[in-house]
Amino acid sequence: MVAGISSNTRRAAKVEKTPKVAGVATWVDDRTGIATAAKSQIRKVFPDHWSFMLGEIALWSFVVLLLTGVFLTLWFKPSMGETVYDGSYANLKGIPMSDAYASTLNISFDVRGGLLMRQMHHWSAMLFIAAMFVHMMRVFFTGAFRKPREMNYMIGLLLLMLGILEGFAGYSLPDDLLSGTGLRIADGLIEAIPVVGSYLSFFLFGGEFPGDQIISRLYAVHILLIPGLLLALIGAHMLLLVYQKHTQWPGPGRTNDNVVGFPMLPVYAAKAGGFFFTVFGVTALMGGLLTINPIWMYGPYTPNQVTAGSQPDWYMGIAEGLLRAMPNWETHLAGFTISWNVLIPGVVVPGVLFTVMLLYPFIEAWITGDKREHHLLQRPRNAPTRTAFMVAMITLYGVLWAEGGNDILALVFHWNLNYITYTARGAVFILPVVAFIIARRWCISLQRQDQNRLLHGYESGIIMRSPEGAYAERHVPIGVNEAYELTARDRDPVVELPPEYDENGVRAPRSRAERLRARLSQFYFGNNIQKPTAEELEEAHEHAAHELEKASDGHQHLHGGDYTGDYELDGTAADGHQFDGRHYVDDEELRGH
Amino acid sequence: MPTGTDVAVPREGDTVIKAQTEADPIADPGLPPHVPRPTDVDERSEKRAERQVAALFGFSMVCAIGFCVAYFTLEIGDNPTVWLGYGASNVILGLSLGLALLSIGVGAIQWARKLMSDVEIVEHRHPIASNEESRTEAVAALSQGISDSGIGRRPLVRNTLIGAVGMLGLPVIVALRDLGPLPGSKLSHTVWRQGMRVVNDVAGTPITPDDLQIGQLVNGEPEVFFENKPDGEPKFEGTELLQAKAKAAVILVRMRPQDIHPAKGRENWGVEGILCYSKICTHVGCPISLWEQQTHHLLCPCHQSTFDLANNGKVIFGPAARPLPQLPLQVDSEGYLVAQSDFHEPVGPSFWERG
């Protein structure tokens, strides 16, 4: 299973320790039979790339959340019972407030390390959700969601959604003015649900908003229900990752059939374990140095107060933007009210976006008709339409996010608030399309550049002068390793419709689905640059060799650059490089000068 | 079985795939040879790396002790230790804990990068799917189990089982019934009654028309929030007070009477240019408070719905669909502003049965 294990340390491993390890291992294996599973997992190979670390940030910040969260539960009182504050924060002394808010103040001001843990908890929540977002985009851009990893991608998206819900629940717990306003908005969203809205609201809040139940209920959701689900899903996510083995970037020796990298023990144990401490440490520094959610400045919740410039945590910004951008449509029909102005941004759009993202792997697989297993990652440029789709989604997210802070934008830049909103209403439809087109063309241009590198080599920066006085840049063939990396990708087969009539002239009806797929396939892959075939590459190289041969007479015939003729060059580099243009320079380096 | 070569499996059906792929144009040159690091070949460099890692771990211990010292020496609470305007305890605890953790992390990663073997290992992938034999056996076992159960042959058992399990959904839903009371008509009414005074929301003092300048906005509440029962207890407190406030909070504004364009039937809802509106936004229920006195516009700070208070609370911008409900005003015998009645429509966010 594992080939080529070797140690590069120059000392022999200490043999005398082995019996002790073996003794413990025997004891455990006698009771669990774990050796069968462990023998291949202990030295399991993980490929290395910086982008594989993004999911790890999410994982470790979740652990930090669990640890700091447990600390906070020791003092937090999830109750809306009324109390009069008598702690050490002078500005709020004597003010009636809920136990939840008072105990949060207590954690912040009267428990040593309490404020640190609160801020670490909040910062790691930000980090958790942000890391999941970026990790998801990495997986999407590189095609890591393709078979056999569709399920793990879907689990990941669920984790993201649950993480956002978990964040919102936790944010609401202190029962301060800001988070209470968030709950008031959530109540408005629930009430807008047709038929059962007001009932759901009364059940959730234990009566009329704000009631005296919501904090303790959200507490159960926040520390038990959702973390349990998150843990289970993270477990499944990791198990599938281990079973399917991590994807890797293609390269010399790195194929669809193997994994090249470092063993779990000791390298990844040390790197990943070390990275846990790094994430934890950075979170602690943030908690110590950067204030977050200073609830004592907001005051206790009361339904008739609000602060101008109220903003939710960043991950709710898109929901906020949707609410703000939506036109004020409402239907009154036969004595009933349908609040499109709340339903569409609150329920319909997020639901549609999430569903599209969830189904994307299957949509793409249906269009490509590809049923193979994919363990090699794709560069984003090599899937232009997919990359452009994600860029469009990011653009949509960005527009809504900015619209979610339209009052802040208006204040900071002295823009007209109403115009920002009108602009956003148009921009949510226009900008994603523009971004899509630009990103796709950009990808295809990059593919062209790769193609040029493969066929004509790279621009050496050496300017050659011909006897006639014409100047041209020398192109030098790239090395075989780079050439392999550039070609180690699939072609994109465009699905074509079968002929309408078979060879006997009998009309073969084509289904609507087939026609749709052919059109989508053309849209997806029609403009992509395919990697050269062996013949094309051969031809290009022969051409280059021919040029070099011709140069053996002391002259050189170059093509490329801005001029296309077959000028005869005298082979003198204009800037005195040692590249004389007469032989391949694969392994040569520039003279230091 | 999937392969790593560049061969697409043709789909079933009539479609054909254009640009069917050839073999890779460039053969795999194989893994490049391992390049030793300085720590692999130079003992001094190896020793230096070892010292670096140990120093980081050592520094972590120092920081951990520093955390404990800071915990006991830096005061919080009523008389906190303050450095440069910051609570010293939080800053030093965060710094020491952060550096203690970070040093372990950086040390471990340095250890892995500099001292552990960096020879890459190749592991072959196994096919994700089980082999054909296992699949056949599994399917056979499944079919055997299903057929042994007789679920296919005994539809009566099957259907009643489905019914029974499905029916269990009812207890689950019914058991949640006591989560809260039914809404009834609670959302449609507030505590406002005919003759109830509008009072200042902080002090609870009643308001006369002369208390308001033209262009001024005052946050108001029903006087009942400040009244006591005969036994001396407040009539509203705790949750009940918050629930009542969430609907009954109002704003009073005074405009020049000639600027106001009351709708039909609302001509006598104001007193000397003073109008009273619900403070709760008809969008999703935020309290509205930003008042532009020149334009008579009231802006919700949550989602920027804007209402024209000179024109019956009409929505002139933003996502809110309905005008702000207006509370009809009059003055009582002592000259204070009082409500003529409750609101004529439900206040706050829309809901299905609102009409």
- pLDDT tens digits in sequence order for chain A, 593 residues long: 344 444 455 555 455 556 788 889 899 999 999 998 888 889 999 999 999 999 999 999 999 999 999 999 999 999 999 999 999 999 999 999 999 999 999 999 999 999 999 999 999 999 999 999 999 999 999 999 999 999 999 999 999 999 999 999 999 999 999 999 999 999 999 999 999 999 999 999 999 999 999 999 999 999 999 999 999 999 999 999 999 999 999 999 999 999 999 999 999 999 999 999 999 999 999 999 999 999 999 999 999 998 888 889 999 999 999 999 999 999 998 889 999 999 999 999 999 999 999 999 999 999 998 889 999 999 999 999 999 999 999 999 999 999 999 999 999 999 999 999 999 999 999 999 999 999 999 999 999 999 999 998 888 888 877 777 778 787 888 888 999 999 999 888 888 877 777 777 777 777 888 889 999 999 999 999 998 888 888 888 787 766 655 554 444 445 444 444 444 444 444 444 444 445 555 555 554 43
Q: What is the DSSP string of A243-298?
A: HH---B--BTTB-TTEEEEEEIIIIIHHHHHHHHHHHHHHHHHHHHHS----GGGT
- Whether a cis peptide bond, with omega within 30° of 0, leads into A303 is no
Query: Quick one: B80 exposed, middle or buried, by C-beta within 10 A (0-12, 13-18, 19+)?
Result: middle
Which single residue is written with the structure tokens 């670490």? A120
- Could you tell me the CA-to-CA distances from A401 to A314, A317, A320, A322, B284 in Å, in that order? 8, 5, 8, 8, 19
Q: Which residue of B has its CA nearest to A90?
A: B78
- Phi and psi at A457, nearest 5°, equal 85, -175
End-to-end CA separation in angstroms for chain A:
49
- H/E stretch holding A82 reads strand A82-84
Tokens in use for A413? Answer: 């830049």
Which amino acid, one-letter code, is at A347? V
Query: Would you give the distance in Å from CA B4 to the centre of its chain?
Result: 45
Tell the residue number behind the tokens 């006639």, with chain if given: A468
Q: What is the mean pLDDT of residues B267-290?
A: 94
Q: Mean pLDDT check: name the lowest of A496-500, B64-68, B281-285.
A: A496-500
List, in order, residues 6 or more apart from B68 with CB less than 8 Å away: none
- Calpha distance A105→A167 (Å, rounded): 20
Beta bridge pairs of residue A472: A464
Chain A contacts of B80, Cβ < 8 Å? 88
Contact by Cβ (8 Å): A559, A566: yes
Which helix (DSSP H) or strand (DSSP E) does residue B276 occupy?
strand B274-278
Q: Which of residues 231-290 of A touch B (CB under 8 A)?
A: 243-245, 252-263, 266-267, 270-271, 273-289
Least Cα distance to B287 among B221, B195, B199 occurs for B221
Extended beta strands in B21-92, E state: 82-83, 86-87
Q: Which H or E run includes A237? A: helix A226-244
Between the alpha carbon of residue A126 and those of residues A61, A100, A109, A183, A286, the distances in Å are 9, 22, 23, 19, 11
Q: How far is A32 from chain B (nearest CA, A)?
A: 24
Which tokens belong to A171?
Answer: 């944010």
Q: Are A286 and A123 in contact (CB under 8 A)?
A: yes
Q: Does A498 touch chain B (CB under 8 A)?
A: yes
> CA-CA distances (angstroms) from residue A328 to A344, A577, B23?
11, 69, 59
Please tell me the predicted confidence (pLDDT) of residue B5: 36
What chain A residue is nearest to B185 in terms of C-alpha separation?
A198
Contact B90, A230 (CB under 8 A): no
Give the minimum alpha-carbon distance from B31 to chain A in angstroms, rounded to a whole number: 4
CA neighbor of A99 nearest in space, from A78, A118, A71, A115: A78
Query: pLDDT per residue over B29-46, tens digit each?
Result: 999 999 999 999 999 999
* C-alpha dist (Å) from residue A231 to A155, A245, A335: 12, 20, 46
Q: Using a CB-CB distance cutoff of 8 angstroms, which residues of chain B are in contact with residue A274?
A: 104-109, 111-112
Here the tokens at position A487 are: 């070609």
| Whether A116 contacts B97, CB under 8 Å | yes
- The rounded distance, in Å, linking the Cα atoms of A65 and A124 is 6
Of A205, A323, A337, the CB nearest to B180: A205
Selecting from B2, B122, B245 the residue whose C-beta is nearest the C-beta of A373 gives: B2
**Neighbouring C-beta atoms of residue B285, cutoff 10 Å:** 27
Distance from the Cα of B314 to chain A's closest Cα (Å) equals 12
CA A543 to chain centre: 43
Subunit contact B19:A495, Cβ cutoff 8 A = no
> How would you class A553 by CB atoms within 10 Å of its CB: exposed for 0-12, middle for 13-18, buried for 19 or more?
exposed
Asked if the interface predicted TM-score (ipTM) of this complex is over 0.95, the answer is no
Q: Is B327 helix (H, G, I), strand (E, B) or coil?
A: strand
Instruction: Give the model's pLDDT for residue A331.
Output: 93
Per cent of chain B over pLDDT 90 is 84
For residue B23, what pLDDT band results from cuts at 50, 70 and 90?
low
The b-or-e profile of B215-235 (16+ CB within 10 A means b, else e) is eebbbbbbbbbbeeeeeeeee
Distance CA A365, CA A368 (A): 5
Does the structure show a pLDDT above 80 at B54?
yes
Amino acid in position B123: E
| Alpha-carbon gap, residue A517 to B111, rounded angstroms | 52
Name residues 118-147 of chain B within 8 A of A (Cβ): 118-125, 127-128
Is there a contact between A213 and B239 (Cβ–Cβ < 8 Å)?
A: no
Counted residue by residue, chain B has a size of 355
Distance of CA A100 to the CA centre of its chain: 35
- Contacts of residue B45, defined as CB under 8 A and 6 or more positions apart, other chains included, come to B38, B39
Separation of alpha carbons B11 and B15, rounded Å: 7
Collapsing DSSP to helix, strand or coil, B121 comes out as strand
Asked whether A196 and A203 are in contact (CB, 8 A), the reply is no
Other Cβ atoms less than 10 A from the Cβ of A242: the count is: 12
In whole angstroms, give the CA distance from residue A236 to residue B146: 28
Cβ of A278 and B354 within 8 Å? no
Report the phi/psi class of residue B85: left, alpha or beta, with left for phi > 0 and alpha for psi in -120 to 50: left
Nearest to B17 among A184, A209, A369 (CB): A369
| Cβ <8 Å between B351 and A191 | yes
From B24, B125, B242, residue closest to A259, measured CB to CB: B125
Query: Both tokens of residue B275?
Result: 């109008």
Quick check: B161 pLDDT over 80?
Answer: yes
Q: Count other C-beta atoms under 10 Å from residue B296's C-beta.
A: 19
- The set of long-range contacts for A325-333, using a CB threshold of 8 Å and a minimum separation of 24, is A325/A400, A325/A403, A325/A421, A325/A424, A325/A425, A325/A428, A325/B319, A326/B319, A327/A425, A327/B319, A328/B283, A328/B305, A328/B315, A328/B318, A328/B319, A328/B320, A328/B321, A329/B321, A330/B321, A330/B322, A330/B350, A332/B355
